Amino acid sequence: MRIACAQVNTVVGDLEGNLALVRDAVRAATARGASLVLTPELALTGYPPEDLLLRPSFADASREALEALAADLTEGVAIVGFVEHDEDVHNAAAVLADGRVQAIYRKRFLPNYGVFDEARYFRAGDSPMVLDVDGARVGVVICEDIWYPAPVAAELAEARLDVIACISSSPFHLAKGDARERMLQTRASDSAAALAYCNQVGGQDELVFDGRSVIIDHSGDVVARAPMFEDHLLLADVELDLAAGRRLREPLLRRLPRPGGPDPVAVEVPARGAVAAADDGEAASDLAAVPCEEGELWGALVLGVRDYVGKNGFPGVIIGLSGGIDSALTAAIAVDALGPDRVRGVAMPSVFTSGQSTDAAAALAASLGIRMDVIPIAPVVDAFEEQLAEVFEGRPRDVAEENLQARVRGTLLMAISNKHGDMVLATGNKSEMSVGYSTIYGDMAGGFAPLRDVSKTWVYRLASWRNRDEGREVIPQATIERAPTAELRPDQRDSDSLPAYEVLDPILEAYVEQDLPPTALVERGFPDDVVRRVIGMVDRAEYKRRQGPPGIKTTPRAFGRDRRMPITNRYAED
């Protein structure tokens, strides 16, 4: 059987556009000989549709789009994700063949952790589904259903399947793809069945979907893999007789107790008969390489920026170029995502800005081929301070005057955005956002923050990798090697206010992403006073983070949709 996974980039709410994407992909797959075509989870509506699901008209429109799609598909069998409204709302997969909807499967495991809120919106299904496609037994599952060994996977194994068809919208975080693929290999091997896994690709607000769809044989070997972060039509031929033979030679499934609950539902799917492999001169399957960690993270950031800007209709982006590494990395990502003509840099030197910073910003702009405007802020800062002199009288200069500079810069960037329509990209990283080392209404101003979930350690790592990858100084080496500074007062360094990043970032990872208590961090060798100080800074900065722009989730636990802490909170863990 030739199987296809249509790894497409959908847009939430664009039912007409998503329908066209799916229809064209299915037709392309059947033209190349595919008998069975998978599309991503909720492909017709986009994922996640969130509170659109609370509108009955949205689910009804999803069903109308499904019926229109079914009428257009008369070759092969397609499994298409959509929202079903039948008294309640279901995350569903429709089986389309011969111009109509043949069967509907309802997702049984609804994730309700991390970035997922499916129990808020959907009612869980309760029945497995097995299809008969050209004599092959095909089990249908949706995303979370496959992550657990029981009951769904166990029921499918007991059903003696030839193929498991899993449609999915699994969001990215670093290294997740490897773990997911290993899990899928285990499910295929345990069931002695081929497994086709079709994942969504693209950016949706804070989430990036990496694609990396796979087709795995009955022994658990990956025979085809789609590239990460790209639209792709993945095809592979699976040998059904080999799977049946393995089940006889290794009768492990005979020892499985029959799972409780309803028996699988067999659905006869009319099809056009055995489909011959298309002689198109191409291999029936391809095996995309998996990028290195830096390449994987870079690809996610580029795709996240490209889709957030593009899907929301912004003509381009504006970035405040300080001469530091965070703004340099943000600009490099933006250029890779949008091209240099859609990226505008703005340098805004103050009386504390060194010539080194101005030169670094200019060198970066030249390296990336982007426009750079220079707007000195000293006159504006002076005017603000003059107006505040009476209110500030009798108090020494402190962080208020420092932050005033950042707020002037934020105001100028937003003014340019209003005038030209381009979106401001904030440049803050996760380390800074964690401890509140940022100015609300200042450097936090912007519509999107690509580095919001990228630590300072990773900022340096990505910058160095990008230069190695291109074989030149995309980001000036002097910028990478320079000690980080906000330049809001004379001779300022980040280390004046924060522990060294090689100490800070491991503490933040343990506390923010792993939820370890202070005692556990001290046991790992971190000084008690540093641990207490950092944790206090993280907890106090919650109100700032709530008011910052969204950014791309790249870690297992990002601020916002993932980590949800109350702003008003007096609990302190020992």
Q: Catalytic pick from 5, 75, 84, 143?
A: 143
Helix (H) / strand (E) element for 222: namely strand 222-225
- Cα torsion 124, 207, 21, 27 to 10°: value is -70
Residue 166 is among the residues annotated as catalytic for this protein? no
From edge to edge, which strands make up the β-sheet containing 371-374?
371-374, 343-347, 317-320, 423-424
Max CA separation in the chain (angstroms): 89
Report the sign of the C-alpha dihedral through residues 559, 563, 569, 573, in that order: negative
Q: Catalytic pick from 5, 41, 158, 487?
A: 41
- The answer for residues whose C-beta is within 8 angstroms of residue 278's C-beta and 6 or more apart is 31, 32, 33
Q: Report CA 413 to chain centroid distance, whole Å.
A: 27
Please name the amino acid found at residue 344: R
- The answer for residues whose C-beta is within 8 angstroms of residue 86's C-beta and 6 or more apart is none
Q: Which residue has the tokens 């500079």?
A: 405
Residue 143 is among the residues annotated as catalytic for this protein? yes
DSSP codes of every residue in 288-357: PPPPPHHHHHHHHHHHHHHHHHHHTT-S-EEEE--SSHHHHHHHHHHHHHH-GGGEEEEE---TT--HHH
Q: Count the residues in the chain.
A: 574
Residue 107 is among the residues annotated as catalytic for this protein? yes
Rounded Cα distance between 193 and 216, Å, is: 9
Beta pairing partners, 208: 203
Q: Catalytic pick from 5, 75, 107, 432?
A: 107
Backbone angles phi, psi at 369, to 5 degrees: 75, 30
Task: Give the residue numbers marked as catalytic.
Answer: 41, 107, 143
